[in-house]
Structure 1
């Protein structure tokens, strides 16, 4: 195993392994994941740490360009200034919308090239997905135009311009005047993000609007209001994420994430499983970690919101900093590394740098309702109706309860995509063949499927494959996240990007024959239900089956036992044949 070689199991014969049926191919990969994670070479992890260092260095560079800011060696005397938070928000927003943050690189099945972002968002002719199917005026169609590209470039320019501006706007603080960026600089950004979102929800979600759009909009307010609103928003992010973890699925996420950690020793990884290697359901140790994580994410933010003691506030802030540092070291799939760095910076800046500014010290208390109520409504509705709200907008981060999909292509269907759909690099196997050749590319492509199978909902997706296509063993199976990443230029766990709307857009370009592309769509579980609804769709003829599976069944199955899952069919048509 070298610096660029993947971590294959010992004495592993790729050719003999591939001759097995899918369940038998995936079983050893599940056990391999338990000890080695996705199996990426060390060079891939180094790439992420270099990128993370570039993110920190870039942010510091823009802050240093602000007149009046001291040198980096004097950081203790200026890190708490208002402009530092403002430029950190804007820099992180720009980093994300460029595709350099979440959704970047090998840990999101993006190898060649490792970034999507502007390759798609600034290129007319690529697929865009307007919300609500383009029913709103001036949003129809599914092809990116020059107008869309110019709006995107305009957003990047607005962010860049604000990052280069001085902090020449004086405002009242608790202890005298403070200097900030002029609020007028935020207006183009606050306007352009929703405009882009009305044309394409992919760009909108890539900008992480549930955090950075709200934070940028808060910077239109006076300083005391800005701090109060961003403090409230940060606490709501933690509480929303914690609420979504109150389920039986989160321990599976802990398993998958920690098993992929490059720093966790193998003997501890094995303890995450009930009786490794024969029983890989979550152990008591894993459930304890899951419950503790949810308790921390509930308790410490509430303390930060309500505490009037500087000592207690400091302890709670340090707890949340440690919480995000742990996520960083785990290198989770989707790699929200820069976002986690921003969160630990936010905890320090907001609660350690400004401990005497509380939410109630807002200069205009009405702003707390204007910003807070929409966030609370998104969290509540997203948990009750996850089919209608992105898991990002409802802050259901890393809880294991996401909308997902699996796409079944015939070889002729893959050929049509390659000929008629604008995309870079192709699906994961085509990208990996350039680096590793056919056999290793096949193995690594299966590791992406293994990631899905190890979550509870992966059992449902694979159990539904025979219902979607009786010849599924011979079809080309592609994870919906990989499809979105290749065709849309960005993917970060949101199944809303790769469901019927994308299927229809691809069919308009490729004109699939019946059976050439079939898709299993699985919705997230509502917080008040045990059901996860599914749909089976043929790209040429439409939906042909609908039903549900029960989470209580899913969480008791070994990953390779998915064929035993009870499936509850509500509606089916004759189009299932094929």
Structure 2
């Protein structure tokens, strides 16, 4: 890769659709294993500059100068609770504006770099209520002036919380703190606004990372000094341990190798290949890859936080805190897709602030918290992680605390020739579709197609990628080779401005919202969608959606079958168990035109087809 030019995969851009789809996956998954996305170095420089100067330096100056601290003497105030409060509020503000996580080219935002405020500050964009029809005043999928008003009120409240004078707190003063705390009244207002807008649009709530920061805001508003600090410790430990617990199973071993492959500072391809069993023939994780995942990830995220929570030994606590700081700095350095860099830096600081700056032996241990409040807080923090692991269909993987565990609800979209353009023509959204953004960046639509198929190669390195490709093979047959196959996460980014790997943001209800505006014909837009694996099951559920008809098939597959396969399915699609199929459903075919022009209207559909076994396979 160059400073301003990406590395180029071994695919002739104008011949990409001449290759069978699974051959593209074979080439590009192998390419990813050695090169990652091949992003130009300037992308990483942009993220580093934003992180260091805008987030860290900007947050530090805001937090110190508005709290009456001299920023040149951090030793005098770095343990002050108000500083941590303002760091969290600064992070929430940037997340809400869309300039923190899921920002920029590594998250599929090429031009513009953000969707955030361009989505939430604009009427008629799609909104996604989490419980439509069940919560009053939340029905509908159109953003209204009310939603925009709520969003602006949140931004204003966050800004006021950062700049207005702090209030005195006798409990903090008794422990030697001098900075006071952010106004509890403003925290109550902020919490109410976040819940109100979140009930009307789950996308915003998750972008603001409400599942983690809303509990902290509640603690800021309602808890006394000691209870607040101990509750914040409980919160971060639940996040850490929940993430560690979610990495048990067959998925996480497949996450780390492609993440390391995309790490810009790993200099040698051999260091990337070592994480795969036998490159290039076998791209399942090697023993070294699994060891890095489950020792460097699972073990550290479970054991170390519990040590921090219960330790009263200074040396042990220092070692554990340093380990967690290094853990988050390592993740930051890998530039993972969705780039949650600010979140990782905040958690690195939190490990030091909470457990070294306000240690258990100084009156901030579990035993120092009000007993009944400790029970209520722990139960509240554990509710969604427990429910989400047992019933992932009910809870986003973010409140379930299953961040980057490989066990995601995921989807792949398939468009008949020319159909994709309708998304640009008929949707009110914050950005052009990703193929158009990449075309402007790379100067060629063919080169942009190759770049998007690199993302499909990345997805196929994960367990759900094998399943999604198997579903598409089963549904589309030979038509798979000339349909435009897209990673749903990047597509959703363009339409609602945010996605963090959560397939619940582009489920059947979201597809119905798109269909209402775009009016696809049967067979033009097909979606393969899979749900996360419940902790007590050995299978995952999938659905097939024809945008014009809704869900047309439901079924399951065994996780072990997906994990055992190669990304390009050399042995054919993994076995699928069809549990239900829409009566009379027959997929409409759209054959490949003689000369593919992906920007014009598609040819008329061919005859209606259905596989004899009801699988919907792509017969001739």
Does the alignment reach a TM-score above 0.5?
yes
Aligned-partner Cα distance in 2 for 1:298–1:90? 27
The structural deviation recorded for 1:372 is 2.0
* Cα 1:14–1:517 shift into 2, 3 Å: closer
Q: Which residue among 542, 546, 553 is the counterpart of 2:554?
A: 546
Would you say the 8 A contact 2:37–2:455 is kept in 1? yes
Counterpart residue number, 2:249? 247
Which of 335, 338, 342 is matched with 1:338 structurally? Answer: 342
- 1:377 corresponds to: 383
- Deviation of the 1:176 alpha carbon: 4.2
Name the residue aligned to 2:457.
Answer: 450
Give the 3-state SS of the residue equivalent to 1:61 in structure 2: helix
1:284-303 aligned at under 5 Å gives the runs 284-292=287-295, 293-303=297-307
Q: 2:414–2:485: 8 Å Cα contact kept in structure 1? A: yes
1:155 partnered with 2:154: yes
Residue matched to 1:278: 281
TM-superposed deviation, 1:530: 1.0
Alpha-carbon distance, 1:18 to partner: 4.1
Per the TM alignment, residue 277 of structure 1 is displaced from its structure 2 partner at its CA by: 1.4
**Matched-pair contact (CA < 8 Å) for 2:93–2:158:** yes
Give the structure 1 partner of residue 200 of structure 2. 199
Equivalence map 1:150-549=2 (5 Å)? 150-173=149-172, 175-176=175-176, 178=178, 179-220=180-221, 221-265=223-267, 266-292=269-295, 293-355=297-359, 356-436=362-442, 437-470=444-477, 471-549=479-557
Quote how far apart the aligned CAs of 1:502 are: 0.6
Normalised to the residue count of structure 1, the TM-score between the two structures is 0.97
Q: Given that residues 34 and 272 in structure 2 are in contact (C-alpha distance below 8 angstroms), is that contact kept between their aligned partners in structure 1?
A: yes
SS in 1 for 2:203: helix
Instruction: Give CA deviations for 1:92-139 in whole Å, capped at 9, x if unaligned.
Output: 111111111221111111101110001010101100011123432111
- SS across alignment from 1:571: strand
Q: Deviations over 1:217-269 (max 9, x none)?
A: 11012211110100000001001000100011111101111111111232211
1:549 counterpart SS class: strand
**How big is each residue's C-alpha offset from its partner over 1:389-444, in whole Å with a ceiling of 9 and x where there is no partner?**
10000100110000001111224532332221112332221111111122321111
- Measured in 2, the distance between the counterparts of 1:170 and 1:569 equals 61
Instruction: Tell me the equivalent position of 1:48.
Output: 47
Distance in 2, matches of 1:420 and 1:403, equals: 27
Please report the TM-score for the alignment, with normalisation by the length of structure 2.
Answer: 0.90
How many residue pairs are counted as aligned between the two chains?
576
8 A Cα contact 2:433 2:491, kept in partner: yes
Judge conservation of contact 1:171–1:180 (CA < 8 Å) in 2. no
Residue 12 of structure 1, CA deviation: 5.0
Unaligned runs of 5+ in 1: none
Looking at structure 2, the residues matched to 16 and 538 of structure 1 have their Cα atoms a distance apart, in angstroms, of 28
Is the 1:545–1:576 Cα contact (8 Å) retained in structure 2?
no
Q: Distance in 2 between matches of 1:576 and 1:452?
A: 28
Task: Tell me which residue corresponds to 1:83.
Answer: 82
Range with bigger deviation, 474-483 or 347-356: 474-483
| TM-superposition CA deviations, 1:22-51 (whole Å, max 9, x none) | 111121211111111111111111111111
* d(CA) in 2 for partners of 1:424, 1:63: 31
Distance 2:546 2:24 in 1: 26
Please show how residues 24-173 of structure 1 align to structure 2 within 5 Å: 24-53=23-52, 54-71=54-71, 73-173=72-172
The aligned residue for residue 580 of structure 2 is 571
User: How many angstroms does 1:538 deviate by?
Assistant: 1.1
Of stretches 464-473 and 55-64 in structure 1, the one that deviates more from structure 2 is 464-473
Which position in structure 1 is the counterpart of 2:565? 557
* Larger displacement relative to structure 2 (57-66 or 561-570): 561-570
Contact 2:11 2:450 in 1 (8 A): no
Unaligned runs of 5+ in 2: 589-620
Matches of 2:12 and 2:524, distance apart in 1:
31
